[in-house]
Amino acid sequence: MFAEGIRRAIGRRVIADDEVHAVDVLDVLENLAAKSLLAVQLAGEQVLYRLLDTTRAYALEKLEDSHESGEIKRRHAQLCWSWGKDAQDWEPHSLREWTGGNRQRLDDVRAALNWCCSPEGDPSRCVKLTAASASIWFQKLFPE
């Protein structure tokens, strides 16, 4: 999940739960960055937080072993689906145009689909996410 990193608002939607409140997510991200566990990139006014590759591999392994794995992956899939609720989000003039600003989303949607369609996943979310993102996959298969 989040191969390219996350923005603060996205982090709030996936990280926040009963134990970590949405208002505390920024503190969590900044504390991890201060400990050099997250790389911080500035893109205009946006701040992108990205786990270093070794830290990411370790975190994914720990996530798989946790009782929260399914719930976090479900929230991630819900987030990815929400990006496609507005059909225009998935109907670019060209794949190059869309992936230029949404490469992170493409990787996240792929990861969410992998989980949703797995035996541990959520088949109804798989169908919804597949339908919402179908146009971008068709453009990827059949470029202009």
pLDDT tens digits, 47-62: 888 888 888 888 889 9
Average pLDDT, the chain: 79
Q: Quote the distance between the C-alpha of residue 134 and its chain's center.
A: 17
Query: What domains, with CATH codes, occur in the chain?
Result: 1-65 (1.10.10.10), 68-144 (no CATH)
Q: Are 4 and 46 in contact (CB under 8 A)?
A: no
Mean pLDDT of 104-109: 78
| Lowest model confidence (mean pLDDT) among 88-92, 109-113, 137-141 | 88-92
In the prediction, which pLDDT does 116 show?
92
1-10, 73-82, 85-94: range with lowest mean pLDDT? 85-94
Q: How far apart are CA 58 and CA 37, in angstroms?
A: 11
Query: Contact 132/141 with Cβ under 8 angstroms?
Result: no
Task: Provide Rg for the chain, Cα atoms.
Answer: 16
